[in-house]
A and B are shown apart, each in its own frame.
Chain A
Amino acid sequence: VNDEQKKQWLNELFADYQGRLLRYTQRFVANHHANEIVQDVFLKLIKLDDPEKIKGRELSWMFCVSRNQAIDHLRKEKKMSSINSDDEIPFDDSIDKNIEKKESLSMIMKLISELNSTQKEVIILKFQEDLSYAQISEITGHTVNHIGVIVHEAIKKMKNNYQTKGRS
């Protein structure tokens, strides 16, 4: 193992992805939890036995680990407040909250807030994080075809709402 190269690799990943990872994680859990989760993700990355295994798909690996940690965290919270654990995983409540706070928030954010959680997540990964269907599939566990359908339906819904709002 070349130390310098590995260090460089880790530092690059840290510099490139910490913010995006945090932004994505924050959409599941509160900020301080998101910070903890992102820290855990990087610690896992550092301790990885076989870094070669994730070479070329570091981003989706980190997003996926982050996502799983966030979901675990949500499950724990839910258990404590005895809420049905089969509920849909809430994605980005903050979008809704922000809208209540700031009416000035972009039209697109409003449209996204009207989607269901799965759609929200996929749309964010696709259009904010600029990931491919394949990468989103790796992160969320949906098949690539399913991602295609989700994106398509979300866009259809958003476009409809956009036009209605534009008319009214």
Chain B
Amino acid sequence: MSKDLNDAKLTAYVLGELSDKEMKEIELLIKNDPKLKADVESIKSFTQLMRSELKVEPVPVLKDNVKQNINSEINKKLFLAKLFSWNSPLKIALSTGFVFVVCFITLDKFDDLQSTAPTNEVVELTNVEEASIDKEVVETPEAKVTFNNPKQKVRKKFTITSSNRKALKKSYSASRRSFKEGVSGGSKGVKASYKKGANLKSIRVDPSKTGLLSTFGSKGVQKKLSKSRSRKSFIVRDKKPEPIEPIIVEFKKPLAEPLSTFSIDVDTASYSHARKQIMSHSKLPSPNDVRIEEFVNYFKYNDKTPSGDEPFSVGLELSESPWNEGYELVRIALKGKATKTKLRKKNLVFVVDTSGSMNNIDKIPLLKDGLNGLVDQLNSHDTISIIKYAGSHGIHLQPTNGLKKDEIKQAINSLMASGSTNGEGGIKKLSQVFT
């Protein structure tokens, strides 16, 4: 090390700019060197003199008009922010608690049953109502809810094979049973089939192996459907956001391909997106933005809730196809249990993404709204904590009793979105809070 730098170190030592280790080294040097000690003392007294002299200089003040400008800018900013929060959109529907699935199957006319001509079948749509899954998670005694994005996608797959409507009808009761078995059988997935006569095909229920919350891509569906061909066609969407060619899936011949699949989906965004395109922008949505199952999902149907031990009910409706004469439409609706209004003791931990991408009027403010709504429903035996993560992560709200609503709401309202996304950190913190 050069002498200069060492000298500079001596000054840095006096000014308290060294690390502990370096401090100790210098202290050791000083002990054995009276000249060095004198140097240090002289720097010390000189810098003290300098400090006290420089502090005397008065601090100037800004011109009045500049002060006013800055003050009004600060207040203007606040005012704008308030305006936005008044506009804040719908509350997150945490409190609704049921699942239902709807699917439509267009079948050939009943008359065609006897004919040798193959019948056509199109599986059109499925749905699971959205907010319900969040709730299901919240319900459990030590629930963990991740609010990365208010929208949770839950998909489930099962397959229905049928050659004709009669078969479907006849096997409905059987399928009902098998649906039940399929779900009550837990996470294993159950295959059940019903056979009657040579013509009758089986209905196979195959909840994917992880049970209700399992997810899967729509690829499988597309693959199977795209193989089929004949009279009628419809569009199957792709999950990817980038523009793609519409996928046309035509009717298939059940005799040749008796198996068809459809997915259970909770999204409703496509409907609101299409509505926005039409109402606000006066243009039709692009074909790939129209997802029939999400249109169906958007509405409530008052389907029968399951009774007794049934995990969900299956409803079946049949009507003439309104848009295609000579065809009929089957709607299969799955509905989960409605949750009890009286909630059990809960320990809620929210892992909140506060990264910059959440800095949007329909993200963080919406999330705060939803959380505030939840806090109103908490009571004395509930505990809530919040972990936030962005570039860094940390416990934003230590586990707090549900009655301390002001404290909790203050913490919720102080969430600010900025920085990068370190989801891993947030999850790690979560496990800390739970242990």
Residues of chain A whose beta carbon lies under 8 Å from any beta carbon of chain B: 1-7, 10-11, 14, 18-20, 22-23, 26, 31-32, 35-36, 38-39, 42-43, 46, 49-53, 106-109, 123-124, 126-128, 130, 132-133, 145, 148-149, 151-153, 155-156, 158-159, 162
- A4, A22, A39, A127: the one contacting B69 at CB < 8 Å is A39
Closest to A9 in B: B74
A158 touches B46 (CB 8 A): yes
Q: How far is the CA of A6 from the CA of B417 in the complex (A)?
A: 12
Q: How far is the CB of A103 from chain B (nearest CB, A)?
A: 16
- A22, A52, A128, A151: the one contacting B62 at CB < 8 Å is A22
B74 touches A3 (CB 8 A): no
Q: How far is the CB of A40 from chain B (nearest CB, A)?
A: 10
Can you list 6 A-B pairs, Cβ within 8 angstroms, ordered by A? A1-B416, A6-B78, A19-B62, A20-B59, A151-B11, A159-B43
Q: How far is the CB of B416 from chain A (nearest CB, A)?
A: 5
A107 touches B419 (CB 8 A): no
A152 touches B8 (CB 8 A): yes
B419 touches A126 (CB 8 A): no
Q: How far is the CB of B98 from chain A (nearest CB, A)?
A: 34
Given contacts A19-B59, A46-B73, A108-B49, contact A155 B54 (CB under 8 A): no
Q: How far is the CA of A138 from the CA of B417 in the complex (A)?
A: 25
Q: How far is the CB of A101 from chain B (nearest CB, A)?
A: 15
Closest to A38 in B: B62
B61 touches A109 (CB 8 A): no
Query: In this assembly, does B81 line the interface, its C-beta being within 8 Å of a C-beta of chain A?
Result: yes
Prevailing SS type, chain B contact patch: helix
B54 touches A108 (CB 8 A): yes
Given contacts A20-B59, A52-B390, contact A7 B417 (CB under 8 A): no
A14 touches B414 (CB 8 A): no
Prevailing SS type, chain A contact patch: helix
Q: How far is the CA of A128 from the CA of B43 in the complex (A)?
A: 16
Query: In this assembly, does B279 line the interface, its C-beta being within 8 Å of a C-beta of chain A?
Result: no
Taken residue by residue from 54 to 77, chain B's Cβ proximity to chain A (1 for < 8 Å, 0 otherwise) reads as: 111101111100110111011101
Query: In this assembly, does B15 line the interface, its C-beta being within 8 Å of a C-beta of chain A?
Result: yes
B15 touches A2 (CB 8 A): no
B4 touches A128 (CB 8 A): no
Given contacts A108-B54, A148-B11, A152-B7, contact A127 B74 (CB under 8 A): no
A10 touches B53 (CB 8 A): no
Query: In this assembly, does B196 line the interface, its C-beta being within 8 Å of a C-beta of chain A?
Result: no
Report, as a range, how many residues of chain B touch the other chain: 35 or more
Given contacts A14-B74, A22-B61, contact A3 B17 (CB under 8 A): no
User: Which 7 pairs show the lowest CB-CB distances between chains A and B?
Assistant: A19-B59, A52-B418, A152-B8, A108-B53, A152-B11, A128-B54, A148-B8
Q: How far is the CA of A156 from the CA of B418 in the complex (A)?
A: 45
Q: How far is the CB of B75 from chain A (nearest CB, A)?
A: 8
| B53 surroundings in chain A (CB, below 8 A) | 106-109
Query: In this assembly, does B356 line the interface, its C-beta being within 8 Å of a C-beta of chain A?
Result: yes
Query: In this assembly, does B321 line the interface, its C-beta being within 8 Å of a C-beta of chain A?
Result: no
B418 touches A155 (CB 8 A): no
Known: A1-B416, A49-B418, A126-B15. 8 other contacts (CB 8 A): A2-B414, A3-B82, A10-B74, A35-B63, A127-B54, A130-B51, A151-B11, A162-B46
A43 touches B73 (CB 8 A): yes
Q: How far is the CB of A90 from chain B (nearest CB, A)?
A: 19
Max chain A CB contacts within 10 Å: which of B69, B356, B418?
B418
